[in-house]
């Protein structure tokens, strides 16, 4: 709990004639307050942990001080002390930041009419080694049961096609056909923002890996 002392501001208690100042004092074993804690009558809204004999505002010995936020449901912690995720999309121990297999430079992407924003984002994703490694393994499509649109399957097909046509130029028709499903406000033929498209594409890929529609 962080206590901020603002001398220039008055609290609600001060407006009705009460003055309280917090400092780094301690509560004695007999329940008395040290001089660094202010004394004052208890207000009706004070919580029980702030009330004690004599009006001491300090915490009692051994008491836990909370900030009023209800504790979250305890989940297992990882080695860094962070709550473990409810669902692991890809285990960290399998993540490789380097190319597992050496590939020739893949195909270029033809501009289909104001599609440079889409081409540049797709090329960035295609040459991101951890993502490309996974897509080229076809692991997702082997377990995907999505009957309709799946951005992971769409991206997998695109990346496989890029590396299968090294030295050539291909049309990213597979992704263009799903443009409205990636983001409803995208229009084929209109000039869009590359970063915005990238964000919606990554979001769509994540949704493809999560159960349900939310």
Q: What is the DSSP string of 128-185?
A: -HHHHHHHHTTHHHHH---SS--HHHHHHHHHHHHHHTTTSEE--HHHHTTHHHH-TT
Task: Answer whether residue 47 shows pLDDT above 80.
Answer: no
Range of the domain at 173: 109-209
Confidence band for 70, pLDDT divided at 50, 70 and 90: low
User: Residue 38 falls within a domain, yes or no?
Assistant: no
Q: Which residues, other chains included, contact 203 with Cβ-Cβ below 8 Å and sequence gap of 6+?
A: none
Task: Answer whether residue 52 shows pLDDT above 90.
Answer: no
211 pLDDT above the threshold of 60: yes
Q: In this structure, is residue 185 part of a structural domain? A: yes
In a domain, 214, yes or no: no
Residue 121 domain flag: yes
Residue 141, domain member (yes or no) = yes
Residue 201 lies in a domain: yes
Q: What is the pLDDT of residues 8-33, one digit of tens each?
A: 444 444 444 444 444 444 445 454 44
Q: How many domains does the chain have?
A: 1
The answer to whether residue 129 is domain-embedded is yes
pLDDT digits (tens, 9 = 90+) for 97-110: 999 988 999 999 99
**Domain membership flag for residue 21:** no
């Amino acid at each position: 709990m962080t206590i901020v002392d603002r001398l220039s501001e008055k609290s609600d208690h001060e407006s009705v004639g009460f003055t309280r100042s917090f400092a780094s004092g301690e509560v004695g074993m007999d329940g008395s307050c040290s001089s660094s804690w202010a004394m004052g009558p208890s207000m009706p809204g004070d919580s029980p942990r702030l009330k004690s004999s004599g009006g001491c505002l300090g915490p009692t010995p051994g008491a836990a001080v909370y900030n009023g936020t209800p504790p979250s449901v305890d989940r297992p912690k990882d080695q860094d002390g962070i709550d473990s995720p409810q669902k692991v999309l890809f285990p960290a121990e399998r993540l490789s930041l380097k190319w597992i297999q050496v590939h020739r430079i893949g195909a270029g992407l033809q501009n289909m009419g104001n599609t440079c924003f889409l081409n540049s984002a797709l090329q960035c994703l295609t040459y991101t080694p951890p993502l490309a490694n996974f897509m080229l393994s076809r692991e997702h499509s082997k377990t995907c049961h999505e009957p309709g649109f799946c951005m992971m399957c769409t991206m997998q097909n695109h990346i496989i096609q890029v590396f299968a046509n090294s030295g050539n130029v291909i049309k990213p028709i597979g992704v263009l056909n799903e443009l409205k499903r990636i983001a409803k406000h995208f229009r084929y033929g209109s000039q869009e923002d590359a970063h915005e498209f990238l964000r919606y594409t990554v979001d769509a890929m994540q949704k493809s890996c999560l159960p349900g529609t939310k």
